Amino acid sequence: MTLAGKEDVSFLDAVIVTGLSGAGKSRVVDSLEDIGYFCVDNMPSKLITTFFQLIINSKETHDKIAVVTDVRAGGNFDSFATTLEGLKAMNVSYKVLFVTADDDVIVSRFKLTRRKHPLSDKHNGLINDAIEEEHKLLEPVRELADYIIDTSHTSPAECRERVTEIFLDNPSGRMHIHAMSFGFKYGMPVDADLVFDVRCLPNPFYVDELKSCTGLDAPVEEYVMKWESAQTFRDKLFDMIDFLIPLFEKEGKTQLVIAVGCTGGRHRSVVFAELLSKHLAENGCLINVNHRDIKK
């Protein structure tokens, strides 16, 4: 069966996985396999269109396929955009997933596993220089990504949950909104599209009976939201997000990560991330929330 002179490949669900070495692509691939994707690792980007053509022509076609391409396969990724255009020309519907992590986290992982960075030989074993070059090589790819997952502060279970939310729980292809709280003292989330800082609001950490609680506890929420400044912040935050979401959807954005930060990520940011999540859910948005630093 053909469609406008092309193969009808509407059955094909394709994911191109890429990202930094040591960022956790293997975790992502394991998660994709768990939800039924046929995964192929370490494929040169120039061979991706050929591979999918073989899949399309195969009598035993897989309908959910993930391909991993990164610096291990060599090349400078200048042709990555051309590869994606080739998939479009083949009528293949695809999403690009970019996996990243903080540089210090990546360095720690390589030291822990005692594995070499793919570019370390080129830089005489200096891993920081290798990571810096990899950032430059992959920058054009990151700009083309539909989804970005930052694994710096996520467990394997949390990574699996994020992959499932994106690729299994959203069959309609609607924009998925991920709200999160975090603590600035532990670093900003690199995958956030929008970041809001609530450190300007009164801090329940300095109230003895609330210090050991979190923003999930009613007394903390009551304390944070009793101030007029917090109520005004909430109303303006909701107005801003409600204004922006249709604009992002119109531009075809498939994922929106909204991060709310306070000092430690346990009180004020948690309250506001929860309030935002409830507000968006009531408005019919596809939303989930997590609290990155609540247990720290």
Model confidence over 178-231: pLDDT tens digits? 999 999 999 999 889 999 999 999 999 999 999 999 999 999 999 999 999 999
**Among 139, 167, 195, where does a domain finish?**
167
What's the CATH number where 14 sits?
3.40.50.300
Strands 94-100, 147-150: pairing kind: parallel
Tell me the C-alpha distance between 185 and 259, whole Å: 14
Q: pLDDT tens digits, residue range 253-262?
A: 888 999 999 9
pLDDT of the residue at 251: 83
Based on DSSP, count helices (H) and strands (E) in the chain, helices before strands: 9, 11
pLDDT at 145 over 80: yes
Query: Do residues 43 and 98 share a domain?
Result: yes
* The model's pTM: 0.73
Mean pLDDT within 242-251: 92
Query: Do residues 155 and 194 share a domain?
Result: no
Q: Which of 157, 151, 246 is nearest to 191 (CA)?
A: 151
Provide the CA 179 distance to its chain's centre, in angstroms. Answer: 12
Tell me the C-alpha distance between 295 and 214, whole Å: 9
Q: pLDDT tens digits, residue range 260-269?
A: 999 999 999 9
**Among 149, 167, 185, where does a domain finish?**
167
pLDDT of the residue at 5: 42
